[in-house]
Amino acid sequence: MGARIIIPHRGLAQAKTRLATSLSPEERAFLASQLLQRVLRVAREVSNDVVVISPSRELREIVEESGASLAVQRGLGLNEGLEQARFDALADGIETLVVLHGDLPNLSAADVEALAGSLPADGLPGVAIAPDRAGTGTNALVLRPPGVIGFRFGVGSFARHLAEVDAAGVPLVAVNRAGLAFDLDTPADLARWLEMGDAA
């Protein structure tokens, strides 16, 4: 796949704070590490160009062992980090940008290929969005060209990304696949995953 995959990450110590009632800090860091390694393995199956953007330099060993590269985030915030990664991608002449969250435990290479493959043919501009299970958040994006819309991650991001696409006037595809929709974020998510595994 001729695209760069960007995986934003807060760092292991800062990850999964919403699981504090279920897991110790050490357990949360371990879980975040396992989830990131899973997403990295899948991303590297699909693309040779995978970048993790994070303020945490401690991720370097995990990232580089997977064959990906780490870009140290200079500012704060998810959208700010993605803008930094997008700037670098544009400077490198990247034509298609894929954004994947690092907490998708059931993600497969087929999921990523289906997401990227849903863009218009012949290299035309377009956006593909994978909503979360609730249909309110955004778990993955594909942008061609990389600057076609702004990043609007956060509460209610799916609707805000749809508004960005509408304003840009480019084709949009919403991709609903279980591996893209299920993110492990809350105690309820953790319980569901432990009970159902890949069926979650």
Q: What Cα–Cα distance (Å) separates residue 97 from each residue in 82, 148, 181?
A: 11, 10, 19
Tokens of 119: 């863009």
Residue 54 falls in which region: left (phi positive, over 0), alpha (psi -120 to 50) or beta = beta
**Domains along the chain with CATH numbers:** 4-199 (3.90.550.10)
Q: Contact, 180 vs 118, CB < 8 A? A: no
pTM: 0.94
Q: What is the pLDDT along the chain (200 residues), one digit of tens a residue?
A: 579 999 999 999 888 888 888 899 999 999 999 999 999 999 999 999 999 999 999 999 999 999 999 999 998 899 999 999 999 999 999 999 999 999 999 999 999 999 999 999 888 999 999 999 999 999 999 999 999 999 999 999 999 999 999 999 999 999 999 999 999 988 888 888 888 888 77
Q: How far apart are CA 188 and CA 125, in angstroms?
A: 37
